Amino acid sequence: MPTLPNPDRILDTGLAFWRSKTLLAAVELGVFTALGDGPLTAEQLRERLQLHPRAVPDFPDALLALGFLEREGSGAQAAYRNTPETQLYLDRRSGAYLGGALEMANARLYPFWGRLGEALRSGLPQNELRDGGSSMFETLYREPARLEQFMSAMTGFSAGNFTLLAERFDFGRFRSLADVGGATGQLACIVAERHPHLACTTHDLPAVTEIAQRHIERRGLSARVRAQSIDFLADEFPRADVITMGMILHDWNLETKQRLLRKAFDALPSGGCLIAIDHLIDDDRRHNAFGLLMSLNMLIEFGDAFDYSGADFDGWAREAGFARTEVIALAGPGAAAVAYKA
């Protein structure tokens, strides 16, 4: 009798939202922050978070089984504690906090992805715009305090990629860097800290520039990193030896992507380069599942926006006038696509 294929992967993926929502709820409720000061029993954790009695012990034990908590003992006196990863990345008081991205995923993306089928049929966004509301960014830009909170929370999501870029790319022969769409100025600051010879600027809309200035001051880099206002869709790009765009290029449709590359080419000197940091899809479109899922997320958020491969980037860059390109692997599925001007 032939051996039947194993259905586990089908079931695990089809029900993966159970695991996802359990982790997202834990971040939302502050489980890992509550355990940041030390172990708690299930009842102590329930009281600390004001949960219903039915929540324990299933909720903390599920997080234990998923690998997000550790437990000493069993029964009512068992003590739960964070793993090294959740202590570092999911305690809100940690400087390496990654939960901002997960909080956004829980509050916004989770319900929007429930309409993925509709997005695939219609090609239209399934976010706030679907019901006639304003997009998340439009709302954020009207509320400066909320905008700063969001951008601060999201810094952890990009820190690994930006740090590895500063380590792996040879900035030695360049003298200036301009980060377009630089948000809090994180990329410019990370590169400036590692390469003190570079003059670095970060460029974004006026409301964001004020936030960037405060972040730069907190890092003690005001003398070396400047924040300047720009509308990169309407204005010309700043002139610099290196132009970077961190998680920017994938937000746009093909026409806008090509226009941004032409703007970068025009602003760069001979020998300069453009660096786009995104979750690049592998050229064969077989392996970087995160990049492909991120591209579906761009469909959910914007409709005609999409992620891209190194081969895609190479074609657009050469069409814009660049002489050659390369791809530098960064953290996990992240990568830097680099285009050099002759």
Neighbours of 207 (CB within 10 A): 15
Domain CATH code at residue 36:
1.10.10.10
Residues in the chain: 342
pLDDT in tens, 260-313: 999 999 999 999 999 999 999 999 999 999 999 999 999 999 999 999 999 999
Residue 3: inside a domain: no
Write down the catalytic residue from 52, 195, 197, 250. 250
81 and 103 together in one domain? no
Lowest model confidence (mean pLDDT) among 139-148, 222-231, 312-321: 139-148
Question: Is 314 in contact with 306 (CB distance < 8 Å)?
Answer: no
| pLDDT surpassing 80 at residue 181 | yes
Residue 2: inside a domain: no
Number of domain units in the chain: 2
177 and 122 together in one domain? yes
CA dist 13 and 125 (Å) reads 24
Containing domain of residue 28, as a range? 8-89
| pLDDT surpassing 80 at residue 225 | yes
Residue 275: inside a domain: yes
Residue 1: inside a domain: no
**Pairing mode, strands 79-82 and 69-72:** antiparallel
59 and 110 together in one domain? no
250 in active site:
yes
pLDDT in tens, 50-69: 999 999 999 999 999 999 99
CA angle 238, 138, 200 (to 5 degrees): 25
Which residue(s) pair with 199 in the sheet?
Answer: 176
Residue 40: inside a domain: yes
DSSP characters over 68-131: SEEEESSSTT-EEEE-HHHHHHSSTTSTT--HHHHHHIIIIIHHHHTTHHHHHHH----SGGGG
Q: What is the pLDDT of residue 154?
A: 74
Residue that is last in its domain, among 37, 69, 89? 89
155 and 200 together in one domain? yes
Domain CATH code at residue 327:
3.40.50.150
- The whole-model pTM stands at 0.92
Residue 94: inside a domain: no
153 and 286 together in one domain? yes
Residue 226: inside a domain: yes
Q: What is the pLDDT of residue 9?
A: 95
153 and 250 together in one domain? yes
Q: What is the pLDDT of residue 267?
A: 98
Residue 195: inside a domain: yes
